[in-house]
Homo-oligomer: A and B are copies of this chain.
């Protein structure tokens, strides 16, 4: 029930980016930002907290980077590929690092399995959008 697609279709000018890839990325990153915030908090309630420090740290980074990338991608006016592309690359790298760490804990913590899935979906979306920009 996201508004990304209908809002892009209501944009008064022509979008500079492929609408399918763009809205899929906005939705994936928006979901990933929330998942990472929640997973970092889940980790803080785990008995093996000392083993979850790297996961917490990367989830905090990933939540912030995804949320910021959603904001930048949601803006089409005066679109500047030299701003958007490196941010997408940074977001992809962060999702990949966080996803790998979450997967490392997926067997013992269901919340990390879910968050790893959110990160991998976000990583693929960033990759697809970057590819569509070439």
Give A contacts to B, CB under 8 Å. 1-4, 6-8, 10-13, 26-27, 30-31, 33-35, 37-42, 44-47, 49-50, 53-54, 56-58, 60-61, 63-65, 67-68, 70-72, 74-78, 80, 82-83, 86-87, 89-90, 93-94, 97, 109-111, 114-115, 117-118
B111 and A97: CB pair below 8 A? no
How many angstroms between the C-alpha atoms of A35 and B8 in the bound complex? Answer: 10
A58 and B83: CB pair below 8 A? yes
Quote the shortest CB–CB distance from A111 to chain B (angstroms). 4
Copies of this chain in its oligomeric complex:
4
Chain B neighbourhood of A75, CB < 8 A: 37-38, 41, 57, 60-61
Interface of A is mostly: helix
Quote the shortest CB–CB distance from A121 to chain B (angstroms). 8
Chain B neighbourhood of A3, CB < 8 A: 31, 34-35, 38, 114-115, 117-118
